[in-house]
A = this chain, B = another copy of it.
Amino acid sequence: MIETPYLLFLGDAPDPLAAKVAQGIKDWRPDFALGQLRMEGCRADMKLPDMTLAEAKAAGAKTLVIGVANRGGVISAAWKKVLIAALEEGFDLASGLHNLLRDEPDLKAVAEATGRKLHDVRVPSVKYPIANGEKRTGKRCLAVGTDCSVGKMYTALCMEREMLARGMKASFRATGQTGILITGGGVPLDAVIADFMAGSVEWLTPDNDPDHWDLIEGQGSLFHVSYSGVTMALIHGGQPDALILSHEPTRSHMRGLPGYDLPSLEAVRDMALTLARVANPACKVVGISVNTAALDDDAALACCAEIEARMGLPTVDPFRHGAGRLVDALEAM
């Protein structure tokens, strides 16, 4: 396991969304998030103390966690300087990047010389099976989004927190690096070999008590051409009983795809439900989670009310307003 507490590395994040790994750790395991380290030009801020490596070390931080994404790219020379200094200062490194720390000869050499660990949570550590589609006991809920990065993980984490507070049996099931860094386990789904994607989701959500709910972390979107195959594997491997639609109301186009409009919630509902019923004919869409972070309080409530009236489903921002009504919907099933 990764040693805590963490210093969160935000690098030269071009926008706050790029630092969603750091944000997730800060929101869901605040005790782990001792401080943040930002480079010049960084446009993300976790509202944590800005610390140098030496300051964080003195404060007790054990691991520098890379809390920022580098879309399909490389680990830059500017990052390398910080990472190598961190190893030399006595930090372990933890990362969910596609580019593995262990594949960087300089990082590997310094880690070996200093006796420090390189945690690449991106890399699957299990040989997953091919999905067999067999019905499993227990219940499963999956959030499907109009786009990537619209709050699917937060929805699942909020629902888990609410369900555990009610004494229900519930497990957040992480499918991405942030979720894995938060919970310590899961499937790094976007790094799984294509043929084993759905099988890895089956593996992640095995037979369970009849009244137990898996809250499966969603990924991508059926309407995002770069990542839709991953979403499909979640729907067919997860065989959800309940779907939550997730949406960000201020997005002007699909994330990273300037030419692509967002689909309507109706289109996502119909497509996801049709596909989900292949694996689980009883599947229902039970609610809608809206990421209202970009709206003020009144606008957030108005947005949810408008969607609720239009779609006829309980609609909340679970992070802002609580996940109670979404959990009510699961309890009513």
Contacts and interface: CB of A to CB of B under 8 A. Distances in A.
Interface of A: 71-72, 98, 129-135, 189-195, 197-199, 222-223, 225-233, 236-237, 239, 254, 256-257, 259-260, 263, 271, 274-275, 278-279
A133 B230 contact: no
Contacts of A254: 133
Contact of A198 (B71, B72, B226): B226
B199 A194 contact: no
Given A131-B225, A131-B226, A229-B231, 14 more contacts: A72-B129, A72-B130, A133-B254, A133-B260, A191-B195, A193-B194, A194-B197, A198-B228, A225-B237, A228-B232, A228-B233, A228-B278, A229-B229, A263-B278
B190 A194 contact: yes
A281 to B, nearest CB: 11
A71 B192 contact: no
Contacts of A271: 271, 274-275
A97 to B, nearest CB: 12
28 contacts: A72-B129, A72-B195, A131-B226, A132-B226, A132-B256, A132-B257, A133-B226, A133-B254, A133-B259, A133-B260, A135-B259, A190-B193, A191-B193, A192-B193, A193-B193, A193-B194, A194-B229, A194-B230, A195-B230, A198-B226, A222-B275, A225-B239, A225-B278, A228-B233, A228-B236, A228-B275, A229-B230, A229-B233
A52 to B, nearest CB: 34
Residue of A71, A230, A254 with most chain B CB atoms under a 10 A cut-off? A230
A254 B257 CA distance: 34
A81 to B, nearest CB: 25
Residue of A129, A194, A231 with most chain B CB atoms under a 10 A cut-off? A194
Given A129-B72, A130-B71, A227 B278 contact: no
Contact of A191 (B189, B194, B229): B194
Contacts of A223: 278
A29 B236 CA distance: 36
Contacts of A190: 193-195
Contacts of A229: 194, 197-198, 229-233, 236
